[in-house]
Structure 1
């Protein structure tokens, strides 16, 4: 997927990347390396962190903003229309990013020096 020696900055409190196929734990590695198809549209790039990725400090994990807060990420706002569109979009977006299907990121993670 990616060349050796690539550096990706991750929140220090983020959980360790799970093994491929294991349940997602919100480590964020996949979305920090490159956006998924939805992230491609939102980020308008094929490499680098997805603009929809959100760090949730209270949960100590990353979440997809397109699923967690579609009104904010997609610009629909928090009014009645935005909330309604978000409620309709959330399950569709979750399916499109394969939420709940397990880790599909095959990147090898090296925590680096001093970890």
Structure 2
């Protein structure tokens, strides 16, 4: 297995990444590390932090913008398709179900 080191930046108040298979808590690690197939298809993004990853300060968690408001990220999409595409994306990425990121997170000491 090839091990790749990657540095990602997340909000300092983001929750700690749950263990693989545990309930999603909005830590943002998976989407900050790489775009999912939804981003590949709708945002034409294959690498880097997902452009649809949004920090919600009121709930102190990250959310997928393709789940909360797809037409903000896919500007050519008619707004009447916002709700159906949000449902589709929610199901496809299993939003809020369980952590599927194999990433091992190490926090950088900030002084």
Report the TM-score when normalising by structure 1: 0.84
Asked if 1:110 corresponds to 2:111, the answer is no
Alignment of 1:2-21 (within 5 A): 3-4=4-5, 6-21=6-21
Structure 1: gaps (5+ residues):
none
Structure 2: gaps (5+ residues):
none
Distance (whole Å) between structure 2 residues aligned to residue 29 and residue 19 of structure 1: 12
Distance (whole Å) between structure 1 residues aligned to residue 72 and residue 85 of structure 2: 12
Report the TM-score when normalising by structure 2: 0.87
Superposed structure 1 runs of 4+ greater than 6 Å apart: none
Greater shift in the superposed pair: 61-70 or 88-97: 88-97
Secondary structure at the aligned position of 1:94 is classed as: helix
Per the alignment, residue 82 of structure 2 pairs with 86
